[in-house]
């Protein structure tokens, strides 16, 4: 969705009213392209989000405090923090007809501009001092754009000015007719976009729709007098900065567009108090999706690093595991060298010992620098070490494999995490187990989240764990011997318990619970997933295992189902 010229102007007005005069208290980086500021003004904290993402550049005031989403800020993030914190926002400006916002900050050391260019594919956020770029999100060299180099220590060059367009105030039936006749076979709205300042596709389509109740007319099919009448007060109010922000919603309740003026051609128009609220409705909760993914990334990297170390350790252990025949050879070699020590010459590197009447001699390599007795001792030492290894290494291998399974479960927990608490819990677990390297990533505080509880229309309660701790709780605290336990087969995932209360569970309920188990697992994106079903009494904790690690002594069977999330709302079910 495009933020057009008039919506940009509405944002500038909103920011000047609500933010200007305030001081920057805190800054955060949400992801590579997105930054937030806490600005204290009129005894109130407000939160400004600036995003230079190529496909969805935007600026808005958010209702909630923005949270850091990256482990280490970029150079731009560090610069914003070091230079802007403590500065006063003195103005927000929009260059004429541009989708650009210039934020002027001031303190005793001087003035700095933060410039957000909300132009799709070329969006950028730049910090400028005395017309020189200090840094920017998207660096552009002369090889990409000779006219506009966007690099530190280079002069800031604004976007090239638009030329040859008509000011909206100059529109009348005569000028409209002249414009439309330039390209009579083109869509009328497209002709307006090309030739009138400030006309975005949204605005141009809205103008045609208001005149003709449709948007796909050719320019030659449009009566300039009818179009001028439709524009009338609508366009005059925009030129006077009289904003009517809102969102266009389709029949399914999906937001299709946002503007500072009604977009009746897109569906039902819902008015909201500010353009920031309208943008929030379109882009969704700012604490969701992308920000959570940015917060997951450094934790995912720590898990991957721990997995690589354990995999190397596992490989070394398996290499050190000497075969039984090789262990026996070491013992025999030591004994034969003792028996034949007087037959071995000084400096000899190989000795062939007769040990059975009809068997070939046993070839024993020697260290020429050692005596026969010392060579025998060396073989006995290798034998003792190999024998201990045969006893201990399998146990160590099992421990490492258990740790790898646990880390795989944590990786799945992280992917399934739907809030800051669950993301933070994975990090805390890594730290407690000694797998975390470097500084802790700070996340919003909050108590531990609990497992999901779903009540079917028939009254059966289904408990769904979404991480290792919740799985432990679901299986061994919520679950009782007579309940049905489920888990996706062979992969990390949710423990699901169907509370039976002594009743027989219908197949439809079992299938529904199995679909939950499939969804909250590593295989949630698969078309079909195999799910283990068992009576809870046959599920046991693994001795010495981590939370949620279990063994199943006896299965009821297997269900192959399509993954499905626990519904957020249902008429008869509830959490």
Q: At 47, which CATH number? A: 2.30.310.10
Is 550 domain-assigned?
Answer: yes
The single residue listed with the structure tokens 């070394």 is 316
pLDDT at 391: 72
And the tokens for 425?
């819990």
Same domain for 114 and 183? no
Q: Which of 283, 317, 342 is the last residue of a domain?
A: 283
The single residue listed with the structure tokens 């992917």 is 415
173-180 helix and 224-239 helix, angle to the nearest 10 degrees: 110
Is 329 domain-assigned?
Answer: yes
Same domain for 187 and 248? yes
Each residue's pLDDT tens digit, 444-501? 555 567 899 999 999 999 999 999 999 999 999 999 999 999 999 999 999 999 999 9
Is 108 domain-assigned?
Answer: yes
Same domain for 268 and 353? no
Is 142 domain-assigned?
Answer: no
Same domain for 269 and 298? no
**CA–CA separation, 534 and 330 (whole Å):** 48
And the tokens for 540?
């046991």
Does residue 26 sit in helix, strand or coil? Answer: strand
Same domain for 317 and 406? yes
**CA–CA separation, 404 and 254 (whole Å):** 42
Q: Which of 249, 283, 317 is the last residue of a domain?
A: 283
Same domain for 29 and 56? yes
Q: Are 169 and 239 in contact (CB under 8 A)?
A: yes
Same domain for 243 and 332? no
Output the average pLDDT for the chain.
88
Same domain for 189 and 254? yes
pTM of the model: 0.56
pLDDT score of 571 more than 50: no
Instruction: Look at 113-127, 322-336, 404-418, 472-486 and tell me which has the smallest mean pLDDT.
Output: 322-336
289-320 helix and 372-416 helix, angle to the nearest 10 degrees: 160
Is 162 domain-assigned?
Answer: no
Same domain for 298 and 236? no
Task: State how many domains the chain has.
Answer: 4
Is 421 domain-assigned?
Answer: no
Is 429 domain-assigned?
Answer: no
Mean pLDDT of 104-127: 93
Same domain for 185 and 244? yes
**CA–CA separation, 213 and 201 (whole Å):** 16
Same domain for 250 and 300? no
What residue numbers bound the domain in which 486 lies? 452-561
Residue 441: CB atoms within 10 Å: 19
Q: Which stretches within 19-149 are classed as H helix?
A: 75-84
Is 309 domain-assigned?
Answer: yes
Q: Which of 253, 283, 313 is the last residue of a domain?
A: 283
Same domain for 322 and 272? no
């Amino acid at each position: 969705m495009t933020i057009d010229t008039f919506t940009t102007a509405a944002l500038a007005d909103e920011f000047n009213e609500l933010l200007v005069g305030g001081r920057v208290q805190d800054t955060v980086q949400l992801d590579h392209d997105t930054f937030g500021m806490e600005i204290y003004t009129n005894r109130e904290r407000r939160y400004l989000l600036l995003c230079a993402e190529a496909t969805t550049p935007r600026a808005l005031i958010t209702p909630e405090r923005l949270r850091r989403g990256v482990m280490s800020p970029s150079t731009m993030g560090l610069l914003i923090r070091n230079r802007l914190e403590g500065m006063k926002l003195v103005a927000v400006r929009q260059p004429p007809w541009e989708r650009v916002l210039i934020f002027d900050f001031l303190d005793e050391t001087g003035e700095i501009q933060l410039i957000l260019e909300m132009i799709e594919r070329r969006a950028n956020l730049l910090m400028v001092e005395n017309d020189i770029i200090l840094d920017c999100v998207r660096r552009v060299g002369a090889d990409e754009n000779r006219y506009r180099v966007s690099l530190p220590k280079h002069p800031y060059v604004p976007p090239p000015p638009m030329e040859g367009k008509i000011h909206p105030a100059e529109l009348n039936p005569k000028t409209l007719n002249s414009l439309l006749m330039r390209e009579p076979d083109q869509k009328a709205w497209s002709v307006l976009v090309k030739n009138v300042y400030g006309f975005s596709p949204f605005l141009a389509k809205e103008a045609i729709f208001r005149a003709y109740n449709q948007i796909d007319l050719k320019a030659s099919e449009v009566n300039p007098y009818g179009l001028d009448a439709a524009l009338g007060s609508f366009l005059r109010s925009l030129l006077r900065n009289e904003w009517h922000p809102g969102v266009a919603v389709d029949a399914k309740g999906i937001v299709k567009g946002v503007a500072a003026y009604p977009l009746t051609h897109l569906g039902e128009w819902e008015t909201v108090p500010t353009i920031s609220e309208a943008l929030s409705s379109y882009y969704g909760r700012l604490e969701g999706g992308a920000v959570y993914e940015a917060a997951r990334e450094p934790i995912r990297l720590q898990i991957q690093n721990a997995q690589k170390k354990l995999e190397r350790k596992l490989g070394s252990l398996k290499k050190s595991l000497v075969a039984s025949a090789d262990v026996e050879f070491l013992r025999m070699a030591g004994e034969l060298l003792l028996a034949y020590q007087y037959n071995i010459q000084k400096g000899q590197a190989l000795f062939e010992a007769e040990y059975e009447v009809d068997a070939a001699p046993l070839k024993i390599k020697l260290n020429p620098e050692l005596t026969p007795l010392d060579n025998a001792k060396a073989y006995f030492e290798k034998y003792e070490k190999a024998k201990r290894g045969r006893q201990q290494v399998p146990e160590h291998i099992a421990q490492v494999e258990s740790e790898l399974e646990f880390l795989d479960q944590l990786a799945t927990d992280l992917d399934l995490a739907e809030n800051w608490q669950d993301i933070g819990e994975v990090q805390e677990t890594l730290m407690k187990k000694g797998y975390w390297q470097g500084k802790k990533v700070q996340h919003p505080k909050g108590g531990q989240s609990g497992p999901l509880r779903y009540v079917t229309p028939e009254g059966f309660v289904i408990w769904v764990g979404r991480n290792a701790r919740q799985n432990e709780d679901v299986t061994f605290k919520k679950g009782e011997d007579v309940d049905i336990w489920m888990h996706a087969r062979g992969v990390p995932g949710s423990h699901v318990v169907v509370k039976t209360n002594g009743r027989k569970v219908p197949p439809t309920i079992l299938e529904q619970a199995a679909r939950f188990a499939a969804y909250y697992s590593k295989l949630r994106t698969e078309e079909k997933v195999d799910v283990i079903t068992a009576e809870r009494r046959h599920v046991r904790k693994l001795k010495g295992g981590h939370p949620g690690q279990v063994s199943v002594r006896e299965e009821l069977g297997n269900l192959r189902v399509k993954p499905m999330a626990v519904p957020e709302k249902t008429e008869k079910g509830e959490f």
